[in-house]
Amino acid sequence: MTAAPTDDRLFRAVFEGTLDALLLADDEGTYVDANEAAGELFGCPSEELVGRSIAEFLPTEVDFESTWIEFLEAGEARGQLEIARPDGAVRSVEFAANADILPGIHLSAIRDVSEREADRTELRRRTEMLSKVFEASPVGIVIVDSDGGIVDANEHVESVLRLDREGITDRTYDDGRWHAVSDDGSPLSGEEFPTTTVLETGRAVFGIEHGIEGPDGELVWLSVNAAPIHGPDGAVDRVVTVVSDVTDRREYDRMLERQNELLEEFSATVSHDLRSPLSVASGWLEVAIEEESTEPLGQVREALDRMDDLITDLRALGRYGQTVEGLTELDIGDLARTAWSNVTVGTGTLELEDGLGTIDGERGRLLQLFENLFRNALEHVGPDVTVRVGPLETTGFYVEDDGPGIPEDARESAFEFGYSTTEGGTGIGLAIVDAVADAHGWRLDLGDADPHGARFEFRRQWHPERRDRDDRSGADPPTF
């Protein structure tokens, strides 16, 4: 065994003063010297390392003899491996070795990187965990870079934004193709996007709602949370945006609000419209008493009949305006024919177009809807009226007549309580139609028939019962 050089004071100063473990080995791979840092690395006094073979500290899978020969031939080696300390602990190290720094003496410099490797392992673990959270999250997540480009999106956001991942990452967050709108339906400006606020202020935002129009034209309402990721310079490098589809919740809130409005209007109508015939009846009754005559009682009866009509219609309105529960699939043509036979006696003409299909709803209320529309046509057009029922290009159907129609400036009030253009009418017939449509989650639009007449169009929208029914069945939704 060749002795280590000990007469060079500069070498010894460097050898002992460095923070890395330095070890000298002979041609057989036996340590002949080690500095204090080497003792700390191996967990034993440095002098205990002298005389021991390098192979003692290497993993069993390492073929030391062939590796050592390759090192001597190459003259140097670098890499990373694990060493087993005498106490059994295993450390990850980086090493650099040089052969023949003196004849038959070979130097190894070793640095403990166990903590760094542990940090890397923890980083990989956290990265993997975040990746799984990113993909498994029940909410949509998109990552936006500092230039506004969408650089990543998870799987769930595809169903929220109605686009595949490639289509999403092909856009910026404020891309005009989103067709984003605010609560009042006006286009969302670039400054109003939640991500814009985060990029400009560096602060997170929560619960911001706006709508986007999907590729199919359907308006989707989003609730957005967005938070910044800061770069080394403190500037916003990324924005993590979490989006949730709140369309159903907003529609449900709208239905509840509409029902509350109906109740308020109901109360107002009861107090207002019943007061008038009640006053008439009371007045004529006083006349009958004063004149001791039964003739004024005819006027009293008319007023009471008027009150009875109002009460009947108001009870129907209150009942039909409640959200429908327990939807069933019904044939539109069959409903229309039954309703027509209930309100007509050999008068008028009902035309049913092909392709009407089915409708999901409550039979009793739907019959009332059709009956009220047919009565409205008979009252305004007469016994020779022609009523047509047909499908719409989108999901829905229409009912139209060949009468004079409803003037455009009167269409908003046509469905209000008490609106009537016929003498003696309660003005609740079309209000019931509107209430039934809303209770089924349908949108009702009033327009012109071709070439003339009133046209009522019904289009299916969100409804809690319909959504559950479609989800449970796993089948395509009915025609309407």
∠20-23-29 over CA atoms, to 5°? 145
- pLDDT tens digits for range 43-100: 899 899 999 999 989 888 889 999 999 999 999 999 988 888 888 888 888 999 999 9
CA distance 358 to 336: 12
What is the fold of 9-116?
Beta-Lactamase (3.30.450)
Pick the residue with more confidence: 94 or 291? 94
Q: What is the pTM of this model?
A: 0.47
Q: Strands across the sheet with 21-25, in order?
A: 31-34, 21-25, 105-112, 90-102, 76-84
**What rounded mean pLDDT belongs to the chain?**
82
Question: The tokens of 276 are what?
Answer: 């008038």
Amino acid at 219: L
Amino acid at 475: A
Pick the residue with more confidence: 59 or 197? 197
> 211 has which bridge partners?
181, 221
The CB density around residue 463, as the number of other CB atoms within 10 Å, is: 24
CA distance 311 to 304: 10
Residue 169: the pLDDT is 92
CATH 3.30.450.20 for domain 137-245, yes or no, is: yes
Pick the residue with more confidence: 143 or 276? 143
Give the burial class of 392: count Cβ atoms within 10 A of its Cβ; 0-12 exposed, 13-18 middle, 19 or more buried. middle
- pLDDT tens digits for range 211-251: 998 777 778 889 999 999 998 898 999 999 999 988 878 87
Q: Give the confidence band of 315 by pLDDT, cuts at 50, 70, 90.
A: low
- pLDDT tens digits for range 402-451: 988 888 877 777 776 555 555 444 456 788 788 888 878 888 899 898 88
Q: Give the confidence band of 19 by pLDDT, cuts at 50, 70, 90.
A: confident
Q: Look at residue 144 and tell me whether its pLDDT is greater than 90.
A: yes
- pLDDT tens digits for range 5-18: 555 777 778 788 88
Residue ranges, CATH 3.30.565.10, the chain: 254-473
Q: Mean pLDDT over residues 353-376, rounded?
A: 87
Residue ranges, CATH 3.30.450.20, the chain: 9-116, 137-245
CA distance 197 to 13: 59
For residue 192, what is the DSSP state?
G
∠418-262-468 over CA atoms, to 5°? 135
- 73's enclosing H/E stretch is helix 64-74
CA distance 444 to 261: 17
Residue 133: the pLDDT is 74
Q: Give the confidence band of 253 by pLDDT, cuts at 50, 70, 90.
A: confident
Determine contact, residues 359/478, Cβ cutoff 8 Å.
Answer: yes
CATH 3.30.565.10 for domain 254-473, yes or no, is: yes
Residue 318: the pLDDT is 55
Residue 131: the pLDDT is 77
